[in-house]
Amino acid sequence: AMDVHGGRAVMQGPRNYVANVYASAPVAITVEGANILTRSLMVFGQGLIRCHATMFDELDALYDKSGKGIAIFDKALTKHVSSFLHNFARAVLFSWTRGRCAKSYGDSTTKTYYRNLSVLSAKFAAMSDISLFILTGSLKRKEMVSGRFADAIAAMYEMSACLKLYEERFKNNEKVSKVLRLSLLQLAAEVDSAMRANLDNLPVNWLVKKTIGLLLFPFSNTATKVDDRLIIATAKSIADIDWLTSDLSTCICTDLKDVPGHQFEILFKGYEAASLLKPLKKRVKKAGYKYQPSQSLADWLGALVSDKLLTSEEKDNWLVWHEAVLESLKVDDFEIKNNI
């Protein structure tokens, strides 16, 4: 699929539905100037001040002119220290028990992932306060650190969205459970990696880093790793175009498969043809016959009919189905016109 779309994308023509999407990409990334600004400055740098339990109150107290600023600041600071100690202790406990002490949510499929999310959330809260304590006001200007925190919180939001979608629409769906497993394990690894990278880049001596690392990152976040077997099993489980368009195509129009000449119609015809060809190809292969590129397909199929391996009807169907598969894979090509 990547090879076909790579070819189509560089050749302007009716089959190229990739170029227009690519051409509009700069429009989609111009919010706040560019996505890099949002990621490295706004999501965490500004969001930390607005979303932190006490920081906004502390800053507000510094500019209080009513005479109550010191009392308000002391109260907010006490709450901040108490919150940090609670978050840090919670993060250490959850990290060393891999979330087994966290409140249990979900069923047998999702329970482990809710625990992973609880561990990551606790680590994120602790690492945020540690970074704030060490970097102080320069945290907002440390855009690589801020960007990695933004990556971490974005991945945790994605994990929450995956769990919510699964429980609302796909509960007990075996195909989706594999997609869910692969997605959540990869996202958890991204969050963990981002926070470990921030710890490694804190401007403190190695002993402090090792101590924090031992307390918050004693093990990998998940007991299970993403491996090739999981990726292959997931790919096989969703290799069904009808299921994909019916279950995983929210906000995408799939009725276009009934429009003659539309790319969706060509795609569905090609997929259906490939499925119909499988048993015939399997039968021919089992009999020991192999197609040679030096032969035309029609002649080779004719020989199979003569050997009574195929019927005339199966031969005709094979040619029609083969043409449908080729049509779904074709890239635009045009005759060169010399206007010089």
pTM of the model: 0.75
Residue 19, domain extent? 1-32
Are 10 and 44 in a shared domain? no
Are 214 and 312 in a shared domain? no
Domain count, the chain: 3
- In the predicted structure, residue 259 carries a pLDDT above the cut 70: no
b/e per residue 252-275 (b: at least 16 CB within 10 A):
eeeeebeeeeebbebbbbbbbbbe
Q: Is 15 or 95 the better-scoring residue by pLDDT?
A: 95
Are 188 and 261 in a shared domain? no
Rounded distance, CA 165 to CA 171, Å?
9
Give the model confidence (pLDDT) of 126-162 as tens digits. Answer: 999 999 889 887 887 888 999 999 999 999 999 999 9
Are 184 and 61 in a shared domain? yes
- Confidence at residue 290, expressed as pLDDT on a 0 to 100 scale: 84
Assigned domain for 117 exists: yes
Rounded distance, CA 117 to CA 125, Å?
12
Assigned domain for 337 exists: no
Residue 160, amino acid: S
- Confidence at residue 159, expressed as pLDDT on a 0 to 100 scale: 95
Are 174 and 87 in a shared domain? yes
Cβ atoms of residues 194 and 151 within 8 Å = yes
Last residue in a domain, options 198, 213, 239: 239
Are 168 and 270 in a shared domain? no
Are 301 and 176 in a shared domain? no
Assigned domain for 137 exists: yes
Identify the three-state secondary structure at position 243: helix
Rounded distance, CA 102 to CA 114, Å?
9
In the chain, DSSP assigns E strands to none
Are 92 and 168 in a shared domain? yes
Rounded distance, CA 220 to CA 38, Å?
29
Task: Report CA-CA distances (Å) from 268 to 182, 241, 257, 325, 336.
Answer: 27, 8, 7, 9, 31
Last residue in a domain, options 209, 239, 269: 239
Place of tokens 């997609």: 179
Query: For residue 135, what are its two tokens?
Result: 């970097």
The closest of 226, 191, 225, 198 to 213, measured between CA atoms, is 198
CATH of the domain at 141: 1.20.140.10
Are 116 and 252 in a shared domain? no
Are 201 and 304 in a shared domain? no
Are 153 and 55 in a shared domain? yes
Q: Which of 34-48, 145-159, 182-196 has the lowest mean pLDDT?
A: 34-48
- In the predicted structure, residue 57 carries a pLDDT above the cut 80: yes
Assigned domain for 161 exists: yes
